[in-house]
Chain A
Amino acid sequence: MPATQTPPLLDPQFLARLEQLELVSRKIFLGLMKGERRSKRKGQSVEFADYRNYVKGDDLRFLDWNLYARLDRLFIRLFMEEEDLHLYLLVDNSLSMDFGTPTKLHYAKQVAAALAFVGLVNMDRVAVEAFSERLTQSMPAARGRRSLWRVLDFLNKVEPGGSSNLREALRTFSLKSSGKGIVILLSDFMDKGGYEDALRYLVARQYDIYLIHVLSQEEIEPELMGDLKLIDVEDFDEAEVTVGGPLIKKYKQNLAAYRAALQDFCLKRGVTYLFTSNQVPFDRLVLTYLRQRGLVK
């Protein structure tokens, strides 16, 4: 769909509401730079974390002199260090995402833009990757409110193309990305190769993973009827069907089972799964559902 016809990814009122949100990671990661969140690493923040015995070479500034006076032993005070957070937004831009009104891709880009904004405002490091059969477009990590334009510019340039290969794309991503952090994967998961292997790559890297499963209304409630030759837009695979009640029912059962299997897979591996349709207003998704799931607060 041409960019001129699509609504802007984010509008100012929505941005204003997003400013109050911040990303929440259930895991504490090491950051490269001091950020606005607690780090696993003990450091120089004001928040006390623990004591440990002094060993030779420790910074004398962190000695707890009061304790030395009482116990006559040297202890080093450990503080929680506040760090920045890596936020990886992985947007599926395969051809299958170019369906629905609005298209699933546009919807995914809107969600990605919103989450990126939340991350940028909270001084997190936000990286965006578009993928189809591999990683197709990458935006280097950006930080700070001022980088929002870069993110939006990048997202606007993401066009549908190629067929899905989640496994290859996520394998490349997990090898390439260095820091740990939050990975938000926006896709329709319509990959004939399956999603299990792909997600295992991410799980192995111990990212805090969120899957946002985007489907169009036409996929959830197909309104097809009669003798049809269905052509897959990605690989031009054909399926000859005579669509009728039982087939539609079976399709829906399969879709539900597929979603359930994906959700189950995620649940077992601590991955947060969120299913959405392109008919759910994306602001509500971000402000309500993601908040409920604890991704933002």
Chain B
Amino acid sequence: MTIQSRRWFLIALTAVFVLSLPALILCFMALTGTDADFNEWLQQNFKVTFSLVLPPLPTILLLLIPPLIILLYFLKLKRKPMQVPSTFLWKKAIEDLHVNSLFQWLRQNILLLLQLLLFVAFLYSLLGFRYHGTSTRANHYILLIDNSASMSATDVSPSRLDWAKQEALREIDHAGDRDVGMVIVFNSKATTLQGYTNNRAKLRDAVRSIEPTQRTTRIQEALSLAESLANPVRTTEAQVMRPPDEIEGAEREVLPPEGIKARVHLFSDGRFAPVSDSVLANLGSREVGFATALGNLNLHYHPAGKPGVEHANNLGIVMLNALRYNPGDAKLANLDVARLQILVRVANYRPRPAQAKLRLDVLQNGKLIHPEQKLLQLPKRTFSQRKTLEDGSEVEEKDEPGETTVTFLLPAFDLRGSLVLHAYLENANDDFDTDDAAWLAIGAVRKAKILIVGPPNAILEAFFEQEAAERLATVERLSAADLTKDAYLKRARSGDVDLVIFDRCRPEPESDMPQANTLFIDDVPPPWRRGTEPVKNPFLLVSKKDHPLLRWITTLYDVGIAEAFLFHPEKSLDPKLKPDFDLPEGDPKRRTLPPLTRILEAGGGVPMMLAIQRGSYTDVVLTFPFVNREIPAQVATNWYREPSLPLFFRNVLYMLGNVDDAVRVLSAQPGEPMILRPEAGIQKLTIHPPGGSRTTLERGPRPEFTHADTDKIGVYKVERDDGATRWFTVNLLDSGESNIQPRDEIAIGSERVAAGEERPQPRDLWKWILVAAVLLLLVEWQVYNRRVAV
């Protein structure tokens, strides 16, 4: 190569590089997802947009081609030196083949340059530039993508969600220039990732950003998001705009907002509960006047996953529960140490019997202390297709998985040690992993902190001083005189207690009401005043039968009460505060009565026991005393002789005192908020999710802590500020998700939407032809150079 040709070569190479530079930058932007703004700018200024037409990995591989070409070129240049008598005739031969040196140089390098140029052209074609000219009308389309747990199934490679995303991207690719699309992702909740836009890059980014979740599936919310623009509800606007002095016969015509027809592409496995008509009643389409639930929405269902029962390959744990095992005398039962009976239900969704090994690990503070295992023989799934009955109606015959319930009887463990059970299937060999394991946290006994304010009360003392009650509650006592002192006020305001029992007394100002649930005996909380009108010998009638305070209480008819006071929700209001309640509507100072629940009544609808909501707290009012107000030695009721009184107090402890006596399972489904009720006085909880970063929760005005970030299944560790550690678990345990067979059709109310037929989508053959052309050219280059000199 002469110096001149070398220079030419460098110039040409630089030119090709400069030519390829914009494409490389755009490629990089598209790969890193930073192309949205630039695309918008391009579209505004040049009516041009771009997007990669190949997935990122093939694109990166393609970008490696030019270095490869150059490498091959240089490898080819490495020639074996050989001495010859004279190059005279060889040069002559070369010269004869190549007329002159420029042509020779071109011969040497033109193919390389051509290939690089071809690559550059290819690169630009990969960027899928589109000219956005004018088109006649814009269509609306909505991409509804399911990212619930079952979409992580791997029956289609790499997963159903990836398939759904690819299909959704394809829909975007084939939309017209003026078509506007929307992206909604749904699981147990629905989120609009991208509102209506015709910017394809934004839609693509939205689709690409979808990550799998372990949540369950509900489609209602997604449907209502989708139809918000399609079926706009007539608002009261029409009435508001109507002038008051409208002349009859010349009413102003108010046109309802026009709905936008949209094509909805649902990418899902259809494993959500059939949407009933009652649920759909909330959708706007009915209100707008459509006969069908979907109204302007034209739903196309793209089932993700391999259809057919023969491809359903999943075993899953659908239930995990623990029971206290008390074969002997219940009185001897120790709340702290107990044997537990663990029930695990495993379902087989395969159309053939399956075998699996179920293991159960008992963990204490994260360490394995007791393993169990059982080999399961699971029956096959019974499945039958839909049938058309003679009268034309269709029924779906039962589809039941092969289920087995396994019982493990564990040895006695100290339940105060916060046990965690981990049940999992070994070698399930199925397409869906999320349901192959489940966890269960056995909560430790949670004692209630109770403050009793008032004069001595033998009946109360008799209950709270017994051993069983002491295990559930710690009791402190204050006299009625302490109500105005710090001893009470500090406790009341700190939220340090779970339950305050005001026995024949009450805090006078409303602001002194404790940050806790309360039980008022023979008194009422402010803003009411204790009624003065007595009710003699009332007869207790149950008005709210299934109230938790009446749990297990069967009879109250033989409870005799000497005297109660008459309580009337409005008349009994404090006269000083009553005007606030009587203010006209719309007045910012106006107060409304809180919700009241009458639990017990006397004859004539006189309330005897009622629950009043005070923010997140409940105040329960008994309108009669246990002990005579005036004569403390005299009991005012014979209830203490009935078995129903300890049961009532137990219910008070459990409901108002938030007692937790172990074996109460602390578990939630992914995405569901977990409500934690630690003992009163705990101000801060630190939650360590499985494999995630910790979250710290501070106590708010409510007695419970709510942890919403429960997207991952597994064991969540809860560190309390008193140094104790508790656990709760998040499990799928949803047979709807575990049944991964995609539905052939989905039911939206009374409508049935069948899986869309495979649409003959235009495949981008030109890309592959172009690839083939490049490969051919490479081969040709090689062959050409094998046959001809240099």
Interface residues, chain A, with chain B CB atoms under 8 Å away: 95-97, 99, 104, 188, 190-192, 216, 219, 224, 226-234, 237-247, 250-251, 254-255, 258
Q: Mark B385-397, 1 if CB is under 8 A from A, else 0.
A: 0000000000000
User: Could you list some 25 contacts between A and B, CB below 8 A?
Assistant: A96-B85, A99-B84, A104-B85, A188-B85, A190-B85, A190-B86, A216-B85, A227-B76, A227-B79, A229-B81, A231-B83, A232-B86, A234-B86, A237-B91, A239-B87, A239-B90, A239-B91, A242-B788, A242-B790, A244-B789, A246-B97, A246-B787, A247-B788, A247-B789, A251-B90
Supposing A242-B786, A242-B790, A244-B787 touch, asked if A230 and B93 sit within 8 A by C-beta, the answer is no
> Total interface residues on B, using CB and 8 Å?
27
Query: Min CB distance, A56 to chain B, in Å?
Result: 62
**In the complex, which residue of chain A has the Cβ closest to the Cβ of B787?**
A244
Query: Min CB distance, B105 to chain A, in Å?
Result: 12
Most chain A beta-carbon neighbours within 10 Å: one of B78, B79, B93, B786: B93
- Whether the Cβ atoms of B79 and A231 lie closer than 8 Å is no
Q: Which 5 A-B pairs have the closest CB atoms?
A: A96-B85, A190-B86, A229-B79, A239-B87, A232-B87
Give Cα A226–Cα B82 distance, bound, in whole angstroms: 11
In the bound complex, residues from chain B placing their C-beta under 8 Å from that of A245 are: 787
In the bound complex, residues from chain A placing their C-beta under 8 Å from that of B785 are: 242
Q: Say whether B768 faces chain A, with CB atoms less than 8 Å apart.
A: no
In the bound complex, residues from chain B placing their C-beta under 8 Å from that of A244 are: 786-789
**In the complex, which residue of chain B has the Cβ closest to the Cβ of A191?**
B88
Query: Min CB distance, A165 to chain B, in Å?
Result: 13
Give Cα A226–Cα B81 distance, bound, in whole angstroms: 11
Taking A228-B82, A240-B79, A247-B93 as given, write out 10 further A-B residue pairs in contact, using a Cβ cutoff of 8 Å, ordered by the A residue number. Answer: A99-B84, A99-B85, A188-B86, A224-B82, A239-B87, A241-B90, A241-B790, A247-B94, A247-B97, A250-B97
Give Cα A226–Cα B80 distance, bound, in whole angstroms: 9
In the bound complex, residues from chain A placing their C-beta under 8 Å from that of B78 are: 227
Q: Which B residues between 745 and 789 are near A, CB-CB below 8 angstroms? A: 785-789
In the bound complex, residues from chain B placing their C-beta under 8 Å from that of A191 are: 88
- Whether the Cβ atoms of A233 and B83 lie closer than 8 Å is yes
Query: Min CB distance, A163 to chain B, in Å?
Result: 9
Q: What does DSSP make chain A's interface, helix, strand, loop or mixed?
A: mixed
Supposing A240-B790, A242-B790, A247-B789 touch, asked if A96 and B79 sit within 8 A by C-beta, the answer is no
Give Cα A237–Cα B90 distance, bound, in whole angstroms: 11
Q: Which B residues between 207 and 254 are near A, CB-CB below 8 angstroms? A: none
In the bound complex, residues from chain A placing their C-beta under 8 Å from that of B86 are: 96, 188, 190, 192, 232-234
**In the complex, which residue of chain B has the Cβ closest to the Cβ of A226?**
B80
Give Cα A92–Cα B568 distance, bound, in whole angstroms: 139
Q: Mark B470-500, 1 if CB is under 8 A from A, else 0.
A: 0000000000000000000000000000000
- Whether the Cβ atoms of B92 and A254 lie closer than 8 Å is yes
In the bound complex, residues from chain B placing their C-beta under 8 Å from that of A104 are: 85
Q: Say whether B96 faces chain A, with CB atoms less than 8 Å apart.
A: yes
In the bound complex, residues from chain A placing their C-beta under 8 Å from that of B79 are: 227-229, 240
**In the complex, which residue of chain A has the Cβ closest to the Cβ of B785?**
A242
- Whether the Cβ atoms of B93 and A229 lie closer than 8 Å is no
Q: Say whether B3 faces chain A, with CB atoms less than 8 Å apart.
A: no
Query: Min CB distance, B95 to chain A, in Å?
Result: 9
Give Cα A192–Cα B85 distance, bound, in whole angstroms: 12
- Whether the Cβ atoms of B790 and A232 lie closer than 8 Å is no
In the bound complex, residues from chain A placing their C-beta under 8 Å from that of B89 are: 190, 219, 251, 254-255, 258
- Whether the Cβ atoms of A229 and B80 lie closer than 8 Å is yes
- Whether the Cβ atoms of A219 and B82 lie closer than 8 Å is no
Q: Mark B349-364, 1 if CB is under 8 A from A, else 0.
A: 0000000000000000
Query: Min CB distance, B80 to chain A, in Å?
Result: 5
CB contact between A219 and one of B81, B85, B786 (< 8 Å): that residue? B85
Q: Which B residues between 99 and 121 are near A, CB-CB below 8 angstroms? A: none
Supposing A247-B93, A247-B789 touch, asked if A233 and B85 sit within 8 A by C-beta, the answer is yes
CB contact between A231 and one of B76, B82, B97 (< 8 Å): that residue? B82
Query: Min CB distance, B473 to chain A, in Å?
Result: 94
- Whether the Cβ atoms of A233 and B84 lie closer than 8 Å is yes
Query: Min CB distance, A213 to chain B, in Å?
Result: 13
**In the complex, which residue of chain B has the Cβ closest to the Cβ of A231?**
B83
- Whether the Cβ atoms of B93 and A251 lie closer than 8 Å is yes
- Whether the Cβ atoms of B76 and A230 lie closer than 8 Å is no
CB contact between B789 and one of A234, A237, A242 (< 8 Å): that residue? A242
**In the complex, which residue of chain A has the Cβ closest to the Cβ of B78?**
A227
Give Cα A237–Cα B81 distance, bound, in whole angstroms: 12
In the bound complex, residues from chain A placing their C-beta under 8 Å from that of B786 are: 242, 244
Supposing A254-B92, A254-B93 touch, asked if A231 and B81 sit within 8 A by C-beta, the answer is yes
**In the complex, which residue of chain B has the Cβ closest to the Cβ of A96?**
B85
**In the complex, which residue of chain A has the Cβ closest to the Cβ of B90?**
A239
Query: Min CB distance, B157 to chain A, in Å?
Result: 44
CB contact between A241 and one of B1, B83, B789 (< 8 Å): that residue? B789
**In the complex, which residue of chain B has the Cβ closest to the Cβ of A248?**
B93
- Whether the Cβ atoms of B84 and A230 lie closer than 8 Å is yes
**In the complex, which residue of chain A has the Cβ closest to the Cβ of B91?**
A239
Give Cα A46–Cα B162 distance, bound, in whole angstroms: 117
Query: Min CB distance, A91 to chain B, in Å?
Result: 16
In the bound complex, residues from chain A placing their C-beta under 8 Å from that of B87 are: 230-232, 237-239
CB contact between A228 and one of B80, B85, B97, B788 (< 8 Å): that residue? B80
Most chain B beta-carbon neighbours within 10 Å: one of A95, A232, A234, A245: A232
**In the complex, which residue of chain B has the Cβ closest to the Cβ of A257?**
B92
- Whether the Cβ atoms of B93 and A228 lie closer than 8 Å is no
- Whether the Cβ atoms of A243 and B789 lie closer than 8 Å is yes
**In the complex, which residue of chain A has the Cβ closest to the Cβ of B84?**
A230
Supposing A241-B789, A250-B96, A254-B96 touch, asked if A231 and B85 sit within 8 A by C-beta, the answer is no
In the bound complex, residues from chain A placing their C-beta under 8 Å from that of B789 are: 241-244, 246-247
- Whether the Cβ atoms of B85 and A230 lie closer than 8 Å is no
Give Cα A255–Cα B78 distance, bound, in whole angstroms: 28
Give Cα A247–Cα B790 distance, bound, in whole angstroms: 10
In the bound complex, residues from chain B placing their C-beta under 8 Å from that of A246 are: 97, 787-789
Query: Min CB distance, A3 to chain B, in Å?
Result: 20
- Whether the Cβ atoms of A241 and B94 lie closer than 8 Å is yes
Give Cα A96–Cα B87 distance, bound, in whole angstroms: 10
In the bound complex, residues from chain B placing their C-beta under 8 Å from that of A233 are: 83-86
- Whether the Cβ atoms of A190 and B788 lie closer than 8 Å is no
In the bound complex, residues from chain B placing their C-beta under 8 Å from that of A243 are: 789
In the bound complex, residues from chain B placing their C-beta under 8 Å from that of A238 are: 87
In the bound complex, residues from chain A placing their C-beta under 8 Å from that of B83 are: 230-231, 233
Query: Min CB distance, A291 to chain B, in Å?
Result: 29
